Amino acid sequence: MKIKFYSYGACKEVTGSKHFIEVDDNIIQIDSGMFQGKREESFQKNHNLNFSPNESKAILLTHGHFDHCGALPIMINNGFTGNIYSTSASRDISNIILFDSAYIQEKDFEYIKNKSQQHPERKLKAYEPLYNSAEVVKTMQNFVTVNYHREFFPAEGISATFFDAGHILGSASILLNIKNKLKIGFSGDLGRKNLPIIKDPEKMPDLDYLVLEGTYGNRLHDSIGMAKKEVKEVIKRAYNRNGKIITPAFTIERTQELIYIIHTLLLEKEIPEIQIFVDSPMAVNATSIFKLHSECFDKETYNNFTSNNIDPFGFDSIKYVTSVKESIEINSFKGPAIIISASGMAENGRILHHLKNNIEDPKNIIAIIGYMAEQTLGRKIVEREKEVKIFGKSYKVNAEIATLNAFSGHADYREIKEWVAQYDLKKLKKIFLVHGEEDALNHLKKELLSINVNDVEITEYKTLYDL
């Protein structure tokens, strides 16, 4: 029996996850994520796969984030015909992520094509969409959903089981059992204990090999308990001075966590009644997916909400806004309010209108949750630049800026080490590190060796490893 492991993405970087296990002639692919980053470079990386998707028997999906599922239609377009296995929540999240991506790619292409015709001197390059919505429909037809802990058989001699990864709704670590002789685990993106709504990361059975993510391999987060305290204090401050809180929010998971925490604070009478607007069609869709997946909820969510027939995401003072007309009407709302809107890094979307209308008033608070990439408006706000440009016009940043650091869906290195330490480290022959910048992975490698992991390898792109 020959077993090989290799990766065509998320090697010394955090996007484009595509990992492979080859057992004799059977190839199983884990994740099919899109590369993100600079336009030209990521287009080329997404376009030129360097492998043949039609050789894979099946694709197993760890979760529905774009950098893990975004390239699925590219696999289908390049001849992949097998099953795409995921949990049912991951299937639903992938569905909205992929349609959104197809739409944005088509719009971007049209926009830049028109611009370049108007201004040929700017030499703008429009990139053809990598897939369209019809191809997303075709992709969704290959999905087969399987719940956590239900063993399935993606190829001859290989069984697979999803375990809760505690990262986002539906997220899974994947155990592959090869001919009952060898166990290989994929952590997927690993979450944290005590995140709101979803269950904690689980340990899989003891493993021979582990493919492990290291996004925050060199960082430590504030404890999750802080998140609730931070939200409470920010709301009280805004309420007392009759201000508004504007939050650029990532539409999946962070938005629902924030709503869940606000709802809990309201039930506990820790904060006054305050109007909340969730102003993003995609966040509204994502929230309705959460409502359907009580099987992913943790004990607290079940005890405090589900078992009492209370919707964790619905209460009197929350308004979900989809139409443009209603979105504009929020501007004239008088009194304290919380406006949660997309996009997460404040690069585009309705959040820009809310920022431009509110950023100059010192009564207001811009509450930043999550990671802001360089060059984004979100990053400029976090760095407290005195003036920012929105729709080409300068605005003074007079509003208070609050960064809520406790919200993170990825384990930090201490949490990763604690998770790994639960395994039988004598049996575990080797850990392959993926999904992290090189500095983070180097640091994580040192940390793992310090708890006596036998061998740690930083996975190189396209390199074959014999197991």
Interacting residues toward Zn ion by CB under 5 A: 65, 189
- Report the residue number, 349 or 409, with the smaller CB distance to Zn ion: 409
Closest to Zn ion by CB, 312 or 370: 370
Q: How far is the CB of 67 from Zn ion (least distance, A)?
A: 7
Edge-to-edge strand list for the sheet holding 244-248: 318-321, 275-279, 337-341, 244-248, 365-369, 400-404
Q: Which is nearer to Zn ion, 57 or 199 (CB)?
A: 199
Among residues 365 and 444, whose Cβ is nearest to Zn ion? 444
d(CA 217, CA 411): 9
**Cis (ω within 30 of 0) for the bond into 343?**
yes
**Side chain identity at 200, as an amino acid letter?**
D
| Amino acid sitting at position 294 | S
CB closer to Zn ion out of 353 and 410: 410
| Residue 94 Cβ vs Zn ion, minimum distance, rounded to whole Å | 12
> Taking the complex as a whole, how short is the minimal distance between the CB of residue 66 and Zn ion, in angstroms?
9
Q: Which is nearer to Zn ion, 12 or 410 (CB)?
A: 410
Three-state secondary-structure class, residue 311: coil
* Residue 88 beta carbon to Zn ion: minimum distance, rounded to whole angstroms: 18
Report the distance separating Cα 258 and Cα 291, nearest Å: 15
What number of CA atoms fall less than 13 Å from residue 242's CA on the CB side?
3
At residue 320, φ and ψ (nearest 5 deg) are: -90, 125
Minimum separation from the CB atom of position 325 to Zn ion (A) = 34
Nearer to Zn ion, 65 or 293 (CB): 65
CA distances, 446 to each of 145, 403, 413 (Å): 37, 30, 11
Q: Which two tokens stand for residue 101?
A: 């991506």
Q: What is the distance in angstroms between the CA of the first residue and the CA of the last residue of the chain?
A: 10
Q: How far is the CB of 189 from Zn ion (least distance, A)?
A: 4
| The two structure tokens encoding residue 192 | 């944290």
Q: Please, what is the minimum distance in Å from the beta carbon of residue 178 to Zn ion? A: 26
Strands 3-7 and 465-466: antiparallel
Tokens for 325, please give them.
Answer: 């007309």
**Quick one: CA dihedral 404, 405, 411, 414, positive or negative?**
negative
Neighbours of 261 (CB within 10 A): 22
> What residues pair up with 178 in beta bridges, in sequence order?
158, 182
Kindly tell me which of 42 and 159 has the beta carbon lying closer to Zn ion. Answer: 42
Q: Closer to Zn ion by CB, 381 or 434: give it.
A: 434
Q: Which is nearer to Zn ion, 61 or 245 (CB)?
A: 61
Q: How far is the CB of 198 from Zn ion (least distance, A)?
A: 12
CB of 68 to Zn ion, least distance (A): 6
Angle at 441 between CA 439 and CA 447, to 5 degrees: 110
* 426 torsion bin: left (phi>0), alpha (psi -120 to 50), beta (else): alpha
In the complex, what is the shortest distance from the CB of residue 65 to Zn ion, in angstroms, rounded to a whole number?
4
Q: Where are the beta strands (DSSP E) in 168-262?
A: 172-178, 182-186, 209-213, 244-248
What is the SS3 string spanning 227-257?
HHHHHHHHHHHHHHCCCEEEEECCCCCHHHH
- Residue nearer to Zn ion on the CB measure, 72 or 397: 72
Question: Please, what is the minimum distance in Å from the beta carbon of residue 63 to Zn ion?
Answer: 6
Contact 189, 59 (CB under 8 A): no
